[in-house]
Structure 1
Amino acid sequence: MGFEQLEQELENLLGQGGIQTLFQPIVDAREALVEGYEALSRGPSDSPLHPASVLFETAERCGRTLELENLCLRTTRASWTSTRRTQKLFVNVSPDNLLPGAYEHRLLEALLEDGAIAPGQVVVELSERYPALDMEELKRSLTWLKQSGFQVAIDDLGAGYSGLKLWSEVEPDYVKIDRHFVRDIHEDLVKREFVRSVMQLSSRLNCRVVAEGVERNGELELLRDLGVRYIQGFLFGRPRSVANANLEPLKAVSRMPENGTVSAASLVHHPPTLHGDNTLEEAWTMLQAQAGVFALPVLDDDGRALGLIHKWQILEAFGSTFGRSLNEKKPVKQMMKSDALLFEHDQPLEELSRRLTEDEDDYLRQHFLVTRDGFYEGMGATRALLRRMTEQRIEKARYANPLTLLPGNVPIHEEIESRLAEGAPFLMIYFDINAFKPLNDHLGFRTGDRLIVLLGRLLQQYFGKEGDMVGHLGGDDFIVFCDDIDHTVCSSTAVMDTFNAESRSVYRDEDRFRGFVRAEDRGGRVCNWPLATLAAGVIRVSPESVMDTEEVVHRAAEAKKASKPAEWCDTTPELCQVS
């Protein structure tokens, strides 16, 4: 087809409409939920302008890119609002079309008409393939958009002209790595190092990284090992008119999240949703079309969960004589279960299990709804919760210390690797017991075990905040992870004071009175040993630290050793900063 014909096709399209909007999911691989959907525009299916490349190239040659983008955005708004999704919406805009001062208002007008979409839900993607001619004007436009509530992403990083300069100038909320660097990354060392460098830079610039074009499990697994949290590609869903995602591939590479707590978000799946005014007939049609789905969420106009409509309820209503004809036009809000259990996405699985089993109803609920800030996020199944809880307990039992039941060496090393990959600073405290060997020799191993259990209990008691983790390396050696320095110092001091006081109870009266015990040292000489106290060394691991897991443990052990007194006495933790 000649260019004149393409130009006429574009003229008809701009005048009459006909743009198709498809949605591709962007998955949060850590939480196992959908972060958002990218809106992709196509021409009519029977038109030569159907492929996006032909459509936008024709508009560019005709000087009508701005008109086309606005048409695409208006179509996206209409399609997106009909999905009733509450995740983020990623939309593509060429940088040069952000330069005219009035464009921001056109963008708002096209996307936010009638208040159907909030600015905070929209991420504006700038393709690196098309360089901006005036960077200062672009920065002013982006600043205006951010102040209006939009977020910004750089698309196709590594594929275009402006590269890191655009990243540093724009200060985006997201950076999307071009699919070239993702394809077969598990078999390509150069691509792996490129993504690793992007991750290190993103941690310093406080930016989220999205890997595009993920199609194979091997790519997904390697990207997660590198710390990439957000994934987009055919593995989770091709662009479709319906905004849905397939999260099954995450099960093959499932890992414990960084803070060791699995949340409700990990159980979410996304069946079709209903509005309260949808009829029972519409609900039945949707259930019939979804194999293995036995309940559908019902939402209000704002995307908040109203309840659940179960397949058995509709069968019961339709099952009697004339039941279908009498009931099929009734709205689902008249029959739905409005007492469905709601859980926020970050609630731990233990909390879900407790509430489900403590419920006073005579039956165990098969489904529950997950929300984010009160808005519907997805639906969960009780069966999946019970399976995950069982898997968790088995996994913990495999690597737990048999004396304290705290996470042992393997989970501790995994925690260090996860925190290093995340790039955020953290504190690590190494605890052990001073004069532990003579205590064992003098009072026996059973008494020594009592002190180890006491220390484990105190560490769990005082380090129970979100972001804390307590592990038991073995013997009298414990590791604690924290994020807050004030919490670390206060809790460490409390643990040491309590331990030093309670540990006195294991000694004989005469030992307590003397303040020491007589026992052999490592050379076999009889010495006077002080009563057991606690030593602690703290290190701070910052994003600038260039360390692997073994070096982190070594430095923590050195900090603990440095905290031990030259003369036996009670101590308080010292802080050693690693940078």
Structure 2
Amino acid sequence: MKDRLHDELKHILSDGLITSLFQPIVDIDKQEVFGYESLSRGPSDSPLHAAPVLFDVAEKSGVSGELEEICLTVAAKNWSAHALDSYLFVNMSPSILLPPRFRGFRLMKLLHQYHLKPEQIVIEISERYPALQLQELKSSISWLKSQGFKVAIDDLGTGYSGLKLWADLKPDFVKIDRHFIRDIHDDLVKLEFVRSLVDLSSRLGCTLIAEGVENQAELNVVMDLGIVFIQGFLVGRPKPYPTADLSSLPDKQQLVPKSTGKLARDLCKYIEPVEPDVSLREAWERLQKDINIFSLPVVHEGRPLGLLHKWRVMELYGSQYGRALFEKRPVIHFIGRDSLVVDQNSTLDEISRRLIEEDFHYLKQHFIVVNQGIYAGLGTTRTLLKQITQERIEKARYANPLTQLPGNVPINNELDRRLKRQLPFSFIYIDINDFKPLNDVLGYQIGDLVITRIADLLLKHFNHSSDFVGHIGGDDFVVMTEMESVAELTHEVQVAFKAAAHSLYPQDMIQKGYMTALDRDGLQRNFPLTSIAFAIIRVESPCDYKPDQIADFAADAKKQSKKADRFCYSRILI
């Protein structure tokens, strides 16, 4: 059998019988394809058709390098035939990137042959294979980046040294292996692992891609965690031609506004849990003692296993001989294992969405709240819905009528809440430059359109579950966020706003680059086309400041931002 596979591989390599398939990588926020990964296959009628078998046999036969070069050539040839602007992701093992095998000029020659640019290509380095010669690998990666290539670490979490590769190679993208995405909505360990990667990627300025997203429940969790890029059967299977199915992505117009108030920990009540080996009789006595407890959490070594519902015990005891049959048995046999488990920092909207979407048979009465996977208490759906309703009423009462964003009262409440939480955050004041001349020259309808467009852009770019976007009034906005990549996001908003706003000017003004209007003294003069100024206050020690102090700092920073390079001024409060 071994000899037959070796001969088959030799035949495939000599005749170049490799097929390249393309699987989409989708940007959830923009609802568009970001790029395609090229996946290599052997002939469909060959025992080496599947990629794992093909590459495994090649490695054992000592021809991995030859196979990878053929795969790269086929991928480049097929990709060039489609002439797409999106990124092409190609796999390369660390071994092929090491000298003496690595030949940069051959790679550049291949791209030139098929009219491709390095800026279009993302090199994926799999974590499944050990990178023993790290210094040599870093040298090759540095050269690739200098030529314009982007770099991704593939299969993070499945191999030898993923975090070490991440730290040393400083990739542009990190792809989370599908193992950690599969059933993430039902696996608390996977959820916490991926959550830690999201936090790490935010701090390191790296983009995460979730692989293996196959159903709506997995997509919902990925979105809740703030991951923007996904790959998996839900949005497209590998095919000979680039295509994607975006129908499963949520309609942005139907997204529920984010909660601006309490988190799961604010609604949870600590109910003394029981161990899984406690008898049903003991648990029932607990339930009878307190008429306000309708479910008991069953916990082992601090981690929740499920809930024992009062109605379930009554159902068992209500059957003939039920009490005699079941009361001495451990509660582990009678718990509901479909209990909703949420992190204590989950927003109310995240919890309500999961309550509705994860089970279509009945609405759960309770949800389990955890802190880093350890039981913290129970929340009730009734309290959750009551709180959300109150927040919706409050938001509607104080929302800006034009943008529907939270106004001054919710902004002040949110600032006060963040200072009391004592977690570092950024307070960003946004103002539109030369807005009055725009209003005077183009009219208030265009002015209102500009304001709504900046509101949309802020919501689009500051879309993490903990982000807050408010509208003070007029052309002034506020953002509060815990993310650290604020400078990059503000620059992206400025670029997008310039394109959106300038399209509203008449062509002659765009060509001139200015508009003529009366200033505040009634004198006619030329004004630049409108732009945005960002004043960023990074609050590192929230407990040391009061809301009015932050407001004063922001007002001063706003003045500085009007004079700053690129209209962006930052200040850190230690």
TM-score of the superposition, structure 1-length normalised? 0.52
Cα displacement string for residues 186-229 of structure 1 (whole angstroms, at most 9, x for unaligned residues): 22222111111111111222111000000011111111111101
Q: 2:357 aligns to what?
A: none
Using a 3 Å threshold, how does the CA distance of structure 1 residues 3 and 410 change in structure 2: closer, same or farther? farther
Q: 1:439 aligns to what?
A: none
| Partner Cα separation in structure 2 for residue 15 and residue 143 of structure 1 | 33
Map 1:183-198 onto structure 2 (within 5 A): 183-198=182-197
Alignment pair present for 1:540 and 2:537? yes
Q: 1:133 aligns to what?
A: 132
Q: 2:548 aligns to what?
A: 560
| Partner Cα separation in structure 2 for residue 88 and residue 190 of structure 1 | 32
In the TM superposition, residue 258 of structure 1 has moved relative to its aligned partner by 12
Alignment pair present for 1:427 and 2:412? no
Cα displacement string for residues 536-568 of structure 1 (whole angstroms, at most 9, x for unaligned residues): xx97347x789xxxx9xxx99x32267689xxx
What amino acid sits opposite 2:22 in the alignment?
F
Using a 3 Å threshold, how does the CA distance of structure 1 residues 27 and 406 change in structure 2: closer, same or farther? closer
**Unaligned 5+ residue runs, structure 1?**
260-394, 432-456, 488-501, 503-537
Q: 2:36 aligns to what?
A: 37
What amino acid sits opposite 1:540 in the alignment?
I
Q: Secondary structure at the match of 2:24?
A: strand
| Partner Cα separation in structure 2 for residue 126 and residue 424 of structure 1 | 34
**Contact 1:37–1:243 (CA under 8 A) maintained in structure 2:** yes
What amino acid sits opposite 1:75 in the alignment?
V
Cα displacement string for residues 416-462 of structure 1 (whole angstroms, at most 9, x for unaligned residues): 99xx9xx997434599xxxxxxxxxxxxxxxxxxxxxxxxx99x989
Q: Secondary structure at the match of 1:249?
A: coil
What amino acid sits opposite 2:402 in the alignment?
L
| Partner Cα separation in structure 2 for residue 221 and residue 113 of structure 1 | 41
Decide which moves more: 191-200 or 45-54.
Answer: 191-200
Q: 1:247 aligns to what?
A: 246
What amino acid sits opposite 2:33 in the alignment?
V
| Partner Cα separation in structure 2 for residue 571 and residue 562 of structure 1 | 10
Cα displacement string for residues 514-537 of structure 1 (whole angstroms, at most 9, x for unaligned residues): xxxxxxxxxxxxxxxxxxxxxxxx
| Partner Cα separation in structure 1 for residue 137 and residue 40 of structure 2 | 24
Q: 1:228 aligns to what?
A: 227
Cα displacement string for residues 31-85 of structure 1 (whole angstroms, at most 9, x for unaligned residues): 1111100000000001111011111011101100000000111111111111222
Q: Secondary structure at the match of 1:83?
A: coil
Q: 2:478 aligns to what?
A: 480
What amino acid sits opposite 1:70 in the alignment?
E
Q: 1:58 aligns to what?
A: 57
In the TM superposition, residue 154 of structure 1 has moved relative to its aligned partner by 0.3
Using a 3 Å threshold, how does the CA distance of structure 1 residues 258 and 24 change in structure 2: closer, same or farther? farther
Q: For the aligned residues, what is the CA RMSD?
A: 4.8
Using a 3 Å threshold, how does the CA distance of structure 1 residues 215 and 564 change in structure 2: closer, same or farther? closer
Q: 1:444 aligns to what?
A: none
**Contact 2:407–2:472 (CA under 8 A) maintained in structure 1:** no
In the TM superposition, residue 407 of structure 1 has moved relative to its aligned partner by 2.7
Q: Secondary structure at the match of 1:251?
A: coil
Map 1:347-386 onto structure 2 (within 5 A): none
Decide which moves more: 404-413 or 172-181.
Answer: 404-413
**Contact 1:155–1:177 (CA under 8 A) maintained in structure 2:** yes
Using a 3 Å threshold, how does the CA distance of structure 1 residues 210 and 254 change in structure 2: closer, same or farther? farther
In the TM superposition, residue 464 of structure 1 has moved relative to its aligned partner by 6.0
| Partner Cα separation in structure 2 for residue 222 and residue 61 of structure 1 | 39
| Partner Cα separation in structure 2 for residue 254 and residue 104 of structure 1 | 49
In the TM superposition, residue 251 of structure 1 has moved relative to its aligned partner by 2.5
Map 1:195-210 onto structure 2 (within 5 A): 195-210=194-209
**Contact 1:70–1:106 (CA under 8 A) maintained in structure 2:** no
**Contact 2:214–2:233 (CA under 8 A) maintained in structure 1:** yes
| Partner Cα separation in structure 1 for residue 96 and residue 139 of structure 2 | 13
Q: 2:18 aligns to what?
A: 19
**Contact 1:104–1:141 (CA under 8 A) maintained in structure 2:** no
What amino acid sits opposite 2:177 in the alignment?
D
Q: Secondary structure at the match of 2:239?
A: coil
**Contact 1:172–1:207 (CA under 8 A) maintained in structure 2:** yes
| Partner Cα separation in structure 1 for residue 558 and residue 22 of structure 2 | 56
Q: 1:392 aligns to what?
A: none
Using a 3 Å threshold, how does the CA distance of structure 1 residues 426 and 475 change in structure 2: closer, same or farther? closer
Cα displacement string for residues 311-346 of structure 1 (whole angstroms, at most 9, x for unaligned residues): xxxxxxxxxxxxxxxxxxxxxxxxxxxxxxxxxxxx
| Partner Cα separation in structure 2 for residue 144 and residue 38 of structure 1 | 22
**Unaligned 5+ residue runs, structure 2?**
259-391, 432-446, 460-467, 481-485, 492-519, 521-534, 561-569
In the TM superposition, residue 405 of structure 1 has moved relative to its aligned partner by 3.2
In the TM superposition, residue 100 of structure 1 has moved relative to its aligned partner by 1.6
Using a 3 Å threshold, how does the CA distance of structure 1 residues 400 and 179 change in structure 2: closer, same or farther? farther
**Contact 1:211–1:231 (CA under 8 A) maintained in structure 2:** yes
Decide which moves more: 110-119 or 231-240.
Answer: 110-119
Alignment pair present for 1:405 and 2:398? no
TM-score of the superposition, structure 2-length normalised? 0.52
| Partner Cα separation in structure 1 for residue 168 and residue 182 of structure 2 | 28
What amino acid sits opposite 1:427 in the alignment?
F
| Partner Cα separation in structure 1 for residue 142 and residue 111 of structure 2 | 18
**Contact 2:17–2:43 (CA under 8 A) maintained in structure 1:** yes
Q: 1:212 aligns to what?
A: 211
Q: 1:170 aligns to what?
A: 169
Q: Secondary structure at the match of 1:103?
A: coil
| Partner Cα separation in structure 2 for residue 545 and residue 180 of structure 1 | 38
Using a 3 Å threshold, how does the CA distance of structure 1 residues 201 and 545 change in structure 2: closer, same or farther? farther
Q: Secondary structure at the match of 1:407?
A: coil
Q: Secondary structure at the match of 1:50?
A: coil
Cα displacement string for residues 92-120 of structure 1 (whole angstroms, at most 9, x for unaligned residues): 11101110245233651574142521111
| Partner Cα separation in structure 2 for residue 101 and residue 253 of structure 1 | 50
What amino acid sits opposite 2:27 in the alignment?
D
Map 1:44-443 onto structure 2 (within 5 A): 44-101=43-100, 103-105=102-104, 108=107, 111-251=110-250, 399=396, 401=398, 404-409=401-406, 426-429=426-429
| Partner Cα separation in structure 1 for residue 7 and residue 201 of structure 2 | 44
Q: 1:291 aligns to what?
A: none
Q: Secondary structure at the match of 2:81?
A: helix
| Partner Cα separation in structure 2 for residue 167 and residue 115 of structure 1 | 31
| Partner Cα separation in structure 2 for residue 28 and residue 154 of structure 1 | 18
In the TM superposition, residue 138 of structure 1 has moved relative to its aligned partner by 0.5
**Contact 1:126–1:153 (CA under 8 A) maintained in structure 2:** yes
Q: 1:326 aligns to what?
A: none
**Contact 1:20–1:42 (CA under 8 A) maintained in structure 2:** yes
Q: 2:517 aligns to what?
A: none
In the TM superposition, residue 248 of structure 1 has moved relative to its aligned partner by 0.7
Q: Secondary structure at the match of 1:194?
A: helix
**Contact 2:402–2:452 (CA under 8 A) maintained in structure 1:** no
In the TM superposition, residue 576 of structure 1 has moved relative to its aligned partner by 8.1
What amino acid sits opposite 1:138 in the alignment?
L
What amino acid sits opposite 1:164 in the alignment?
L
**Contact 2:403–2:455 (CA under 8 A) maintained in structure 1:** no
| Partner Cα separation in structure 2 for residue 148 and residue 30 of structure 1 | 29
Q: Secondary structure at the match of 1:540?
A: strand
Cα displacement string for residues 97-152 of structure 1 (whole angstroms, at most 9, x for unaligned residues): 11024523365157414252111101010000001120000001111111111111
